[in-house]
Amino acid sequence: MKTAKEYEESLRNLKMNVYMFGQKVENPVDHPVIRPSMNSVAKTYELAFDPRYEELMTATSSLTGKKINRFTHLHQSAEDLVKKVKMQRLMGQKTASCFQRCVGLDAFNAVDSTTFEMDRDLGTQYHQRFRDYLRYVQEEDLTVDGAMTDPKGDRGLRPFQQADPDLFMRVVEKNADGIVVRGAKCHQTGKKKLARVLVGIDDCARAMAIHRTTLMRKMKRYGL
């Protein structure tokens, strides 16, 4: 598992190209606006090493048998779900802020069960691929964002019916290497504080996991 210090250093090692209020941020990690929310994410790492909270903040991986941060865990029982809620309450008490890892945790569990059912019913091989990826996430103790919110456009229409198709993430090409996607996701300012993004694709039952800098080379933010 990562320590809070190792998490911070991992952000410093990323080549982030961040803009805020129309100005480039040379040092996002120490910027006074960004730093408080980064500290909230760091608390998910710090508390995992605190003996007082270890039972809530950590779990035994069902994939490797190793001790992992609970924010990367696949729920195995009702007790796991109860501990997840108690962990989130604890984090809220300690940070009074969004700590960025909830959506990724929920996305892991949703994609795991969905790919299992798809493979069972369709004969595909998505489930093992996803679990291989999640094993990597657990080993590296990565903070993963869930990119799920769309600009919406006309909410009375389906994604493929929009006048501007780029309002939703969609597949535009299939080739021997996989798929090519195009479109937009909103509310992703948390990407300044994480390493990977799990993206839902709106015109089909697909998701993709990618490096943060691949999805958005430049983040422009003109208001809070």
Q: What's 74's DSSP letter?
A: P
Q: Which two tokens stand for residue 22?
A: 């129309």
Q: How do residues 28-61 score in pLDDT, each as one tens digit? A: 899 999 999 999 999 999 999 999 999 999 999 9
Rounded to whole angstroms, the Cα distance separating 20 from 18 reads 7
Has residue 223 got a pLDDT over 50? no
Q: Which CATH number fits the domain that encloses residue 49?
A: 1.10.3140.10
Domain that holds residue 104: 4-149+185-221
Has residue 161 got a pLDDT over 90? no
Q: Which two tokens stand for residue 99?
A: 């700590």
Q: Is residue 173 part of a domain?
A: no
**pTM listed for this prediction:** 0.84
Q: Is residue 27 part of a domain?
A: yes
Confidence of residue 9 (pLDDT cuts 50, 70, 90): very high
**CA angle in degrees (0–180, nearest 5) for 101-199-41:** 15
**CA angle in degrees (0–180, nearest 5) for 169-172-173:** 135
Q: How do residues 169-198 score in pLDDT, each as one tens digit? A: 888 899 998 888 888 877 666 666 665 666
| Domains contained in the chain, number | 1
pLDDT at 48: 98
**Residue 24 near residue 34 (C-beta atoms within 8 A):** no
